[in-house]
C-alpha cells in the first residue's frame, strides 16, 4: 500500500541512459497507484548518476556499472552511505549492418577493432571497408563496461554518440560501422527494426561456441561474455522516501515492465 | 559590356544573398511545421507522456517552460528596470557609470553555458537550492538581465526631457516624476523588451542543463524546489538520447513546432506593441 | 502627504536604484571570480603547460587535460561558419540598406528577426534531421554529424546579428559620399563596392566580430550536430568537440570539487576570455564608426 504520507515526497532519480526509459516506464506505472510521491528522472550516463549522488542532487542513481575505486573513496570521504539494489540483468549487443558478411567475433578480434589496431574489415570479411566505430561518451556506464571487459582504451577515432539510439541510427546508415548498445534497446525497438541491425554473436576464443545477447539463457547462465547487472544506488538518508518505489520495482507489476523492456529481471530468491 | 557584367555580378551577389536568407527561414519553418503540425492535437498539448515517452503529450514540458519563465521574469524585471532607471535617470557620466555600462555590455556577450556554470556554483551549490526550478529560473534571470536593462534604457531615453522637467517644475520629486510620468510613457517599450526576453528565455537550454531540468517527472511541479521539464530540453532529449529515436521523431517535430510557435507568438506580440507605440508617437 | 515623506521616498528609491546598478558590476565580477577561483584550483594540481599544449583531453584519475583539440575544434567550426555567414550577411545587409525600397525593408526586417528568434535547440535539431543527412548524401559519407554541419548551423545562428549590425553601418554612411561618387560618374555598383562598403568597414568588422562571438559561445547546436569525438580534428568532414560541448557533456558527471570539475571551469575561463576579447574588439572598432551618423 501507499507508504508516502500526505505531503508530497520528492524522489530524484538520475543516471544511466540504458536504464532511463525503463525507469520512466516504472515511474509512470508507479504514479498510477501512488500519487503522493513526485519522481523526477534524468539520464545523462551512469557517471552523472553517481556524481549526482555524491553532490546531493539525487536520491537514487541508476548505473550500468559498479562504483569504481575513486568513487568509493569519495563516498567514504563525504560520509555518504549507500544501499545497492540490482534490479535487472543486461547484455551488451555489438551491432553491425545486416549487409556486413560477418556473424560472430572473438573477444580478441573485438578488442583489436575497438582500440583501433584493426582499421579495415578486409581481413575479416574479404571486403575492403574502413571500420567506423560508433560508441558512447566517457560518462556512459556502457562505455566503461566495454572498455574494462576488453581491457582496452578506445580508438581516438571512435565517434562518441549521445546515446544508444544515436548509435543504432548511425549503424543503420553506415554499412561498415560497428557499435555497441544495450541489448534491451535492440529488443525493444518497437517497429521491429532489428531487421535493420545485425547483432553479432561473441565467443571467448576461436574454439568456444559463440553466444548471442538475444538468447536469455546464455545471459542468465553467464555464458554470454558481455552481461552485467543494472544497479540502483540509494542514499541511505533517502532510503525511507525511496522505499515505496523500490518495492514497486520488485513487485509483479514492476518486474513485468522490466521484462517487457528487454531486460532480464533479477530472480528474487 | 563590362559594366553590364558588373551589374549582373552585383545583382547575383546582393539579391542572391537576400533571397537565400529568406529561403533559409521559409525552408526551416516549412520543414519543421509540415512534420510537426500534424502531430499537434488536444492530447499532445494537454496530455502527459506515456509508454516510456514514446506516446502521449508534452504538457509537463509546456507547463515547466511557462513556470520557469515566470520565475525568471519575476526576478529579472524589477531588478533590470531599477538598474535602467538608475543609469538613465540618476547617474551622471562618471567612471562608475561607465564601468556599469561596460559590465552590462560584457555580460550580454557571455555564452549561455557560462551562466549555467555560474548558476550551478551559486544557486545549486553555495545557496543550497539544489537542482530545482528556482535555481534554473534564477540562472535564466541573470542571463536576461543585460537585455532587459538595455531595452528599458532605450525606452526611457525616448521620453523627452521636457516631460521630466515639466513634472519637476510642478513640484514633483524626481521619484514621483519617474513613477507618474516617465515610466507610463516608456511602458510600451519596456513591455516589448520584457516580451522579447521571455521569448528568448523560453528557448534556452544550456543554463538549465545542470540547474534543474529533468527528462521525466510524474506530476506538475508543486514547489519551486522540485525539478521540472522544459520544451527545449525535451526536444534535445527526444532527438538525441531517447531509446527509439525513430518512433519518437514525430513527437520531436511536434515539440519543436510548439516551441517555435510560442516564441513566434511572443515576437508577434512585441511587434504589435512596438507598432502601436510608433503610431502614437 | 507631507513633503518630508515624499522626500524620504525619493531618497530611498534613489539609493535603491543605484544599488541595483552596482549589483550588475557585482554580477560580472562574480562570474569572473568564480571562473578564476576554480581555474586556479585546477592549476594547483596540474601543469599549465600541459593544459595549454596538450593534445589529449582525457579526464579521469590519471587523466590528461590538454585543451588543444577543443580549441582546434572550436576554431574549425567557427571559421567555417564565418566563411559562410560573412559574405552572405554583408551582401544581404547591403541589399537591404541600399537597394530595397521601403516596403521591402519593412518585410525583410521581421524576416531577419524571426530567423534570430529560432532557438539553438531547433537549429541543432535541423542539423540532425535535414542538414546532417544532406551532407552525408552529398559527400557519400555515412554520418553527417561533423564540423561542416556545425559550420552551416552556426552560420544560420550568426547571420541575423551580422546582418543587423552591418545594415546599420552601411546605412550610416552619409549620403554625401554616395552622391559625390555618383556625381563623378560611377554607377551604383561601383559606388557600393568602392565607396560605401569601404566607408562602412569599421562597422562591418564590428558586425563580424559580434557574429563571431555568438558562434563561439553557442552550445546546443554544436552539441547536437557535430559528433563530439575527442580526436584532434582532421578536416571539415571530421567529428569535432568544441569547448562549449565539452562543458555541457561533462559538467553533469563530475563530482563537485574534483580535478575534473576544476578543469571544466578552466576551459570555461578560456572560453570567457576569448569571447570577451572578441566582443571588446568589436566594440572598439564600432566606436570608430560612430563618427558617421548619430
Rounded to whole angstroms, the Cα distance separating C120 from C223 reads 10
Residue whose grid cell is 534554473: B136
Task: State the pLDDT at residue A187.
Answer: 67
Q: Chain B interface, mutation test: which of C121, C246, C268, most B Cβ atoms within 10 Å?
A: C121
* pLDDT at position C61: 61
Q: Tell which wins on pLDDT, B5 or A92.
A: A92
Residue C256 sits at the chain B interface (C-beta within 8 Å): yes
**Residue C82 contacts A, CB cutoff 8 Å:** no
Q: Which residue of A has its CA nearest to C256?
A: A55
Residues of A in contact with C254 (CB under 8 A): 51
The answer to whether A210 touches A202, Cβ cutoff 8 Å, is yes
Per-residue confidence band for A269, with pLDDT thresholds at 50, 70 and 90: very low
Q: What is the pLDDT of residue B65?
A: 94
Residue A225 belongs to some domain of the structure: no
User: DSSP letters of C185-216?
Assistant: T--HHHHIIIIIHHHTHHHHHHHHHHHHHHHH
At residue B229, the pLDDT reads 93
Same-domain pairing of A256 and A205: no
Enumerate the residues of chain C whose CB falls inside 8 A of the CB of residue A52. 252
In a mutational test of the B interface, the residue from C31, C250, C279 whose CB has the highest number of chain B CBs within 10 Å is C31
Residue at A75 is within a domain:
yes
List Cβ neighbours of B1 (8 Å cut-off, separation of 6 or more): none
Residue C79 has pLDDT above 90, yes or no: yes
Say if residue B144's pLDDT is above 90. yes
The residue of C6, C24, C124 whose CB has the most chain B CBs within 10 angstroms, and thus the best one to mutate to test that interface, is C24
Residue A79 lies in a domain: yes
pLDDT over 90 for what percent of chain B? 38
Q: Suggest the residue from A2, A8, A9, A10 to mutate for an interface test with chain B (most B CBs closer than 10 A).
A: A10
Residues of A within 8 A of C241 (CB-CB) are 160
* Residue from the list B50, B131, B241 with its beta carbon closest to the beta carbon of A28: B50
**A146 and A180, same domain (yes or no):** yes
- Asked if A75 and A134 sit in the same domain, the reply is no
Quick check: C294 contacting B, CB < 8 Å? no
- Specify the 3-state DSSP secondary structure of C64: strand
> How many other β-carbons are positioned within 10 Å of the β-carbon of residue A118?
17
Q: Are residues A163 and A75 in the same domain?
A: no
From the list B222, B240, B247, the residue facing A163 with the nearest CB is: B240
Express each pLDDT in A1-47 by its tens digit: 344 444 678 899 998 877 888 899 899 999 888 888 889 999 888 88
pLDDT exceeds cutoff 90 at A60: yes
Stretch 67-86 of chain C: residues touching chain B, C-beta under 8 Å: none
- Does residue A135 sit in helix, strand or coil? strand
DSSP structural state of residue A163: S
User: d(Cα C294, Cα C290) in Å, to the nearest integer?
Assistant: 7
Do the beta carbons of residue A52 and residue A14 sit within 8 Å? yes
* Neighbors of chain B by Cβ distance (3+ pairs < 8 Å): A, C
> Residues A25, A261: contact at Cβ < 8 Å?
yes
Q: For residue C153, what is its C-alpha cell? A: 548551423
Cβ distance C248 to C172 under 8 Å? Answer: no
Least trusted range by pLDDT, from B69-83, B236-250, C115-129, C247-261: B236-250
Q: Which domain holds residue A242?
A: 9-89+231-260
For residue range A159-184, list pLDDT tens digits in order.
Answer: 888 777 788 888 888 888 999 987 76
Record the cell numbers describing residue B12, joined without a space. 547575383
| Residue A267 in domain | no
Q: Is B78 in the A-facing interface, judged by CB distances under 8 Å?
A: no
CB contact under 8 A, C118 and B232: no
pLDDT above 60 for A189: no
B87 vs C21: CB contact, 8 Å cut-off?
yes
**CB–CB of C113 and B20 under 8 A?**
no
Query: B185 near A6, Cβ under 8 Å?
Result: no
The verdict on A131 and A171 lying in the same domain is: yes
The neighbouring-strand residues paired with A135 are A160
Residues A52 and A167 in one domain: no
Pick from A47, A156, A176: CB nearest C253: A47
CA A123, chain centre distance (Å): 30
**Beta partners for residue A85, in sequence order:** A232
Q: Which of B13, B105, B114 comes nearest C272 by C-beta?
A: B114
- Tell me if chain C has a CB within 8 Å of the CB of A137: yes
Alpha helices in chain C (DSSP H): 3-45, 48-53, 68-94, 102-117, 120-126, 132-139, 147-171, 175-183, 188-191, 197-199, 201-217, 220-225, 243-251, 259-289
Cβ-defined contact of B240 to A165 (cutoff 8 Å): yes
Write the CB contacts of A143 (distance below 8 Å, at least 6 apart in sequence).
Answer: A135, A136, A137, A154
Q: What average pLDDT score do residues C101-127 get?
A: 90
**B1 pLDDT above the threshold of 70:** no
Kindly provide the ipTM of the predicted complex, given to two decimals: 0.89
Radius of gyration of chain A (CA): 19
Asked if residue A140 and residue A85 are part of one domain, the reply reads no
* Total CB pairs under 8 A between chain B and C: 235
User: What is the DSSP secondary structure assignment for residue A97, as one 8-state letter?
Assistant: -
Say whether pLDDT at A57 is over 70: yes
Q: What is the pLDDT of residue A194?
A: 55
pLDDT per residue as tens digits for the range A117-165: 888 888 888 888 898 999 887 767 678 788 888 888 888 888 888 777 7
Mean pLDDT of B248-253: 89
CATH of the domain at A256: 3.40.190.10
Q: Supply the DSSP string of C114-136, one letter for each residue.
A: HHHHS-HHHHHHHIIIIIHHHHH
Q: Do A51 and C227 make contact, defined as CB atoms within 8 angstroms?
A: no
Predicted pLDDT of residue B244:
61
Comparing C75-79, C117-121, C140-144, the range with the smallest average pLDDT is C140-144
pLDDT at C167 over 80: yes
Same domain, A63 and A105: no
Cα C232 from Cα B62, distance rounded (Å) = 40
Report which of residues C258 and B119 the model is more confident about.
B119
Which pLDDT value is given to residue A192?
Answer: 45
Q: Which residues of B touch A191 (CB under 8 A)?
A: 244, 246-247
Q: What is the mean pLDDT of chain B?
A: 88
DSSP-H helix ranges across chain B: 2-36, 42-46, 59-85, 95-109, 112-119, 133-158, 161-169, 174-177, 183-202, 206-209, 231-240, 245-280
Query: pLDDT at position A1, please?
Result: 38
Instruction: For the domain covering B45-280, report its CATH number.
Output: 1.10.3720.10
CA distance C186 to chain B (A): 10
Instruction: With H, G, I as helix, E, B as strand and everything else as coil, classify residue A9.
Output: strand
- CA–centroid distance for B122 within its chain: 22
Chain C partners of B112 at a C-beta cutoff of 8 Å? 217, 219
Is residue A138 in some structural domain?
yes
Residue A197 lies in a domain: yes
- Count of the separate structural domains present in chain A: 2
Q: CB-based contact (8 Å) between B59 and chain A?
A: no
At residue C251 the predicted structure's pLDDT band, cuts being 50, 70 and 90, is confident
Ramachandran bin of C153, using left for φ above 0, alpha for ψ from -120 to 50, beta for the remaining angles: alpha
A-facing residues of C in 120-149 (CB < 8 A) are 136, 142-143, 145
Any B CB within 8 A of A36 CB = no
Residue A107 and residue A79 share a domain? no
Say whether pLDDT at C62 is over 70. no
- Decide: B153 and B104 in contact? Cβ < 8 Å: no
Q: Examine the domain organization and report whether A199 and A129 are in the same domain.
A: yes
Domain ranges of chain B: 45-280
Contacts of A123 (CB under 8 A, 6+ apart): none
- Segment holding A41, helix H or strand E: strand A37-42
Nearest C-alpha of chain B: how many angstroms from A122?
31
Give CA torsion, residues A154, A160, A166, A172, to 10 deg.
-50
Give the 3-state secondary structure of residue A99. Answer: coil
**Are A200 and A110 within one domain?**
yes
The alpha carbon torsion through A100, A106, A111, A116 (nearest 10 deg) reads -30
Residues A130 and C112: their CA atoms lie apart, in Å, by 43
Q: Which of B106, B240, B249 sits opposite C224 (nearest CB)?
A: B240
Q: Are residues A143 and A250 in the same domain?
A: no
Structural domain contains residue A3: no
Q: What share of chain A is helix, strand, coil (3-state, %, to 5)?
A: 40, 25, 35
Strand partners, C64: C58
Separation of alpha carbons C117 and C81, rounded Å:
19
Are C73 and C270 in contact by the 8 Å Cβ rule? The answer is no
Backbone angles phi, psi at C235, to 5 degrees: 180, -175
Residues 6+ apart with CB under 8 A from A12: A39, A40, A42, A52, A57, A58, A59, A60, B131, B214, B227
- Say what the pLDDT of residue C151 is: 93
Instruction: Give A-chain residues touching C145 at CB under 8 angstroms.
Output: 159
Min Cα separation C24/chain B (Å): 7
Cross-chain CB nearest to C10 (options B79, B175, B203): B175
Amino acid at each position: 500500500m501507499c507508504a508516502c504520507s500526505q505531503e508530497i515526497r520528492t524522489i530524484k532519480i538520475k543516471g544511466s541512459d540504458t536504464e532511463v526509459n525503463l525507469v520512466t516506464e516504472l515511474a509512470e506505472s508507479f504514479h498510477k497507484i501512488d500519487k503522493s510521491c513526485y519522481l523526477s528522472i534524468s539520464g545523462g550516463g551512469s557517471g552523472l548518476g553517481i556524481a549526482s549522488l555524491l553532490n546531493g542532487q539525487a536520491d537514487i542513481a541508476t548505473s550500468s556499472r559498479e562504483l569504481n575505486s575513486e568513487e568509493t573513496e569519495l563516498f567514504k570521504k563525504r560520509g555518504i552511505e549507500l544501499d545497492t539494489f540490482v534490479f535487472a540483468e543486461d547484455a551488451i549487443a555489438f551491432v553491425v549492418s545486416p549487409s556486413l558478411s560477418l556473424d560472430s567475433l572473438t573477444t580478441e578480434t573485438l578488442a583489436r577493432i575497438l582500440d583501433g589496431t584493426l582499421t579495415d574489415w578486409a581481413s575479416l570479411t574479404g571486403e575492403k571497408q574502413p571500420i567506423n566505430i560508433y560508441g558512447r561518451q566517457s560518462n556512459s556506464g556502457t562505455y566503461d563496461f566495454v572498455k574494462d571487459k576488453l581491457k582496452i582504451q578506445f580508438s581516438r577515432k571512435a565517434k562518441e554518440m549521445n546515446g544508444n539510439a544515436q548509435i543504432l541510427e548511425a549503424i543503420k546508415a553506415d554499412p561498415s560501422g560497428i557499435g555497441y548498445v544495450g541489448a534491451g534497446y535492440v529488443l525493444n525497438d518497437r517497429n521491429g527494426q532489428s531487421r535493420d541491425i545485425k547483432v553479432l554473436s561473441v565467443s571467448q576464443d576461436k574454439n568456444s561456441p559463440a553466444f548471442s545477447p538475444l538468447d536469455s539463457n546464455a545471459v542468465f547462465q553467464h555464458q554470454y561474455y558481455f552481461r552485467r547487472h543494472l544497479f540502483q544506488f540509494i542514499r541511505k538518508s533517502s532510503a525511507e522516501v525511496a522505499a515505496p518505489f523500490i518495492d514497486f520495482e520488485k513487485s509483479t507489476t514492476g518486474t513485468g515492465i522490466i521484462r517487457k523492456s528487454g531486460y532480464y529481471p533479477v530472480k528474487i530468491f | 559590356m563590362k559594366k553590364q557584367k558588373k551589374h549582373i555580378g552585383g545583382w547575383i551577389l546582393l539579391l542572391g544573398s537576400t533571397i537565400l536568407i529568406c529561403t533559409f527561414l521559409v525552408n526551416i519553418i516549412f520543414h519543421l511545421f509540415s512534420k510537426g503540425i500534424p502531430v499537434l492535437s488536444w492530447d499532445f498539448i494537454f496530455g502527459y507522456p506515456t509508454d516510456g515517452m514514446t506516446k502521449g503529450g508534452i504538457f509537463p514540458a509546456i507547463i515547466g517552460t511557462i513556470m520557469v519563465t515566470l520565475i525568471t521574469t519575476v526576478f529579472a524585471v524589477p531588478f533590470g528596470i531599477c538598474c535602467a532607471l538608475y543609469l538613465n535617470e540618476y547617474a551622471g557620466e562618471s567612471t562608475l557609470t561607465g564601468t556599469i555600462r561596460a559590465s552590462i555590455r560584457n555580460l550580454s556577450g557571455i555564452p549561455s553555458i557560462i551562466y549555467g556554470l555560474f548558476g550551478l556554483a551559486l544557486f545549486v551549490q553555495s545557496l543550497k537550492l539544489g537542482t530545482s526550478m528556482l535555481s534554473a529560473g534564477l540562472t535564466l534571470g541573470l542571463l536576461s538581465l543585460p537585455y532587459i536593462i538595455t531595452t528599458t534604457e532605450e525606452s526611457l531615453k525616448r521620453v523627452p526631457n521636457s516631460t521630466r522637467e515639466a513634472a519637476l517644475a510642478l513640484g514633483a520629486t524626481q521619484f514621483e516624476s519617474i513613477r507618474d510620468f516617465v515610466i507610463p510613457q516608456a511602458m510600451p517599450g519596456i513591455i516589448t523588451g520584457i516580451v522579447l526576453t521571455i521569448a528568448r528565455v523560453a528557448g534556452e537550454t544550456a543554463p538549465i542543463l545542470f540547474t534543474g531540468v529533468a527528462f521525466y517527472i510524474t506530476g506538475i511541479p508543486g514547489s519551486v524546489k522540485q525539478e521540472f521539464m522544459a520544451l527545449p530540453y525535451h526536444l534535445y532529449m527526444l532527438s538525441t538520447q531517447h531509446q527509439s529515436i525513430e518512433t519518437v521523431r514525430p513527437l520531436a517535430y511536434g515539440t519543436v513546432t510548439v516551441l517555435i510557435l510560442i516564441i513566434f507568438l511572443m515576437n508577434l506580440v512585441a511587434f504589435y506593441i512596438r507598432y502601436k507605440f510608433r503610431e502614437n508617437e | 502627504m507631507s513633503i518630508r515623506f515624499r522626500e524620504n521616498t525619493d531618497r530611498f528609491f534613489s539609493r535603491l536604484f543605484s544599488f541595483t546598478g552596482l549589483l550588475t558590476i557585482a554580477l560580472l565580477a562574480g562570474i569572473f571570480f568564480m571562473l578564476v577561483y576554480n581555474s586556479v584550483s585546477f592549476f594547483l594540481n596540474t601543469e599549465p603547460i600541459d593544459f595549454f599544449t596538450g593534445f589529449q583531453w582525457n579526464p579521469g584519475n590519471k587523466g590528461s587535460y590538454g585543451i588543444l583539440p577543443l580549441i582546434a575544434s572550436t576554431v574549425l567550426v567557427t571559421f567555417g561558419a564565418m566563411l559562410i555567414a560573412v559574405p552572405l550577411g554583408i551582401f544581404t545587409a547591403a541589399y537591404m540598406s541600399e537597394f530595397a525600397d521601403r516596403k521591402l525593408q519593412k518585410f525583410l526586417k521581421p524576416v531577419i528577426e524571426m530567423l534570430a528568434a529560432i532557438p539553438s535547440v531547433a537549429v541543432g535539431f535541423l542539423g540532425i534531421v535535414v542538414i546532417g543527412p544532406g551532407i552525408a548524401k552529398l559527400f557519400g559519407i555515412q554520418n553527417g554529424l561533423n564540423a561542416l554541419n556545425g559550420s552551416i548551423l552556426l552560420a544560420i545562428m550568426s547571420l541575423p546579428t551580422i546582418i543587423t549590425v552591418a545594415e546599420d553601418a552601411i546605412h550610416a554612411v552619409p549620403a554625401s559620399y554616395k552622391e559625390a561618387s555618383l556625381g563623378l560618374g560611377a554607377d551604383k555598383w561601383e559606388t557600393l563596392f568602392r565607396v560605401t562598403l569601404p566607408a562602412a568597414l569599421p562597422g562591418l568588422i564590428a558586425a563580424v566580430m559580434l557574429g563571431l562571438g555568438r558562434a563561439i559561445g553557442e552550445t546546443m547546436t554544436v552539441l547536437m550536430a557535430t559528433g563530439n569525438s575527442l580526436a584532434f580534428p582532421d578536416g571539415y568532414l571530421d567529428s569535432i568537440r568544441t569547448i562549449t560541448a565539452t562543458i555541457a557533456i561533462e559538467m553533469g558527471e563530475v563530482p563537485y570539487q574534483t580535478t575534473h570539475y576544476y578543469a571544466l571551469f578552466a576551459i570555461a575561463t578560456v572560453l570567457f576570455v576569448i569571447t570577451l576579447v572578441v566582443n571588446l574588439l568589436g566594440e572598439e572598432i564600432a566606436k570608430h564608426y560612430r563618427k558617421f551618423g548619430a
